[in-house]
Amino acid sequence: MSTDGTTTTTFRWGSACDVGQVRQVNQDHVLTEDGLFAVADGMGGHRAGEVASEVAVGTLKERFDVPDADHLVVAVQLANSEVVRLARDNPDFRGMGTTISALALTRNDDHDVLAVANVGDSRTYLLKAESEELEQVTEDHSLVATLERQGQLTADEAASHPQRNILTRALGIDGNVLVDLWELEPVKGDRYLLCSDGLFNEVDEGRIASVLRRLAEPDDAAAELVRLANEHGGRDNISVVIVDVVQAATDVGAAPGRVRRVTHGESRDGAPPEAVPARPGGAAPSTGSGDAAAATGGDRATPTAADATTATQRSKGPRSRFTWRVAAFLVALVAIIGGTVAAVDVSMNGTFYVDTVDGKVAIYQGTPGGLLWRQPKVVTTTEVAADDVPDDKANDLGGGMTFTSRAEADAYVEQLRADIERIDAATGDGDAGSGLGGALGGATTTTPPTTPSTTLVP
């Protein structure tokens, strides 16, 4: 705890950062300086995600050198630039990125202001002193959050959605990044929680709030939240920073709705920041701002450069400025999924090959080895014994030879049968290859070998 000489607001804080129960590497980083707190959740292969989050918080700490909200945004943008530069200059770091959620004590005229900057799906929550209700201040930049804001997913559906790790905004993707900013009045007794998704994906907000109310010491509460996340699986890295407002000019009893979503550019132009009432549940209203294209990367998905938005765009109204981008993204996503499904269907339905099942030669439909979620299936099991297949045809089986129609596959088996009969006649062996006639056409649902002895044929 300490006090900036120009401020009346003081804090106490605690933190915990844990690798979790599954991951080998902790790609989260936290920052706890007096008056500047942050959580960053890195993504990218090898050590890249760890580097991205470390560089982000390190740059934020170094470059947030003037205590005002503008400079907090600039410091986050500089952190983005540094991650982008490292990724560009080092092949090992290509594709890395990180979220960041930061809380800073700033000054506006002669008032203390808490500024919250956010990019990605790490979160800042507020446990209000007067009500002890937990409210999410930030908005997630993720696909499911976008769909939830549009009313296409419920909160419960979003919380368990298999694609909840797809981000629509992150640091490190493009040289320009849109930074969400909120300004809040410091109120004595308020408790802030900054955390990565490793916490709230494992522990519901009710239990998080309960811990925050029950444990007065920030370090104790942070440790307990990490323990609960691990108890529920700990499938991701877990970062928690808890910041208590110990002293503030405003005491408990301040009017609710003190959270202001800042349309920062308008403020720069001289207009007052837009005052936004708190939405039910406490966070600033949904805007869908900046949500755009997504792509996969590492163990979670990251945005593409298409999501990059210049700093000057922050001056525009967040609700309307990106509506077309969200729509374009969803249309593109549907088109990609539809195109993929169609391509897989075409490939699987239009490919046949011959292999064996239960000691018999069989005709399979589908790409040998399968394609994405589709596996080949047996459409006909013949009476041709696998042991009778001539050695010079053995490599044709299992996908060594493929056909574009069922008729071609049938013709191949007929030829195979003829070859076997010819060999039998020449060697005087009448036992093999005698039962093919009439055997074709008996479609079955036999499951193919788990690991076909084939190679993938495009």
Binding site for Mg ion (CB under 5 A): 41, 196-198, 236
Closest CA to 125 of 204, 7, 68: 204
Shortest reach from residue 21's CB to Mg ion, in Å: 13
Residue 193 or 378: the one with the smaller Cβ distance to Mg ion is: 193
Strand partners, 458: none
Instruction: Using alpha carbons, list the distances in angstroms from residue 356 to 314, 386, 445.
Output: 63, 6, 14
Residue 198 or 398: the one with the smaller Cβ distance to Mg ion is: 198
- What is the residue whose two structure tokens read 């479609």? 443
Element (DSSP H or E) covering residue 334: helix 323-349
CA distance 67 to 36: 9
Phi-psi category of residue 175: left, alpha or beta, with phi > 0 → left and psi -120 to 50 → alpha: alpha
Residue 312: both structure tokens together: 């000057």
Closest CA to 300 of 203, 225, 370, 196: 196
Residue 140 or 388: the one with the smaller Cβ distance to Mg ion is: 140
Shortest reach from residue 198's CB to Mg ion, in Å: 5
Shortest reach from residue 105's CB to Mg ion, in Å: 26
* Cα of 51 vs its chain's centroid, Å: 18
Residue 196 or 287: the one with the smaller Cβ distance to Mg ion is: 196
Residue 164 or 393: the one with the smaller Cβ distance to Mg ion is: 164
Shortest reach from residue 36's CB to Mg ion, in Å: 21
Residue 180 or 236: the one with the smaller Cβ distance to Mg ion is: 236
- What is the residue whose two structure tokens read 């339905």? 349
Shortest reach from residue 25's CB to Mg ion, in Å: 12
Strand segments, DSSP code E, in 248-307 are 260-261, 294-295, 302-303
Shortest reach from residue 304's CB to Mg ion, in Å: 19
Shortest reach from residue 159's CB to Mg ion, in Å: 14
Q: What share of the chain is helix, strand, coil (3-state, %, to 5)?
A: 35, 25, 40
Asked if 20 contacts 238 with a C-beta cutoff of 8 angstroms, the reply is yes
Residue 32 or 122: the one with the smaller Cβ distance to Mg ion is: 122
Shortest reach from residue 42's CB to Mg ion, in Å: 8
Give, as one character, the DSSP assignment of residue 397: G
Residue 355: both structure tokens together: 């292999």
Shortest reach from residue 112's CB to Mg ion, in Å: 31
Residue 201 or 351: the one with the smaller Cβ distance to Mg ion is: 201
Angle between helices 48-63 and 69-89 (to 10 degrees): 140
Residue 234 or 318: the one with the smaller Cβ distance to Mg ion is: 234
Asked if 34 contacts 2 with a C-beta cutoff of 8 angstroms, the reply is yes
CA distance 450 to 17: 42
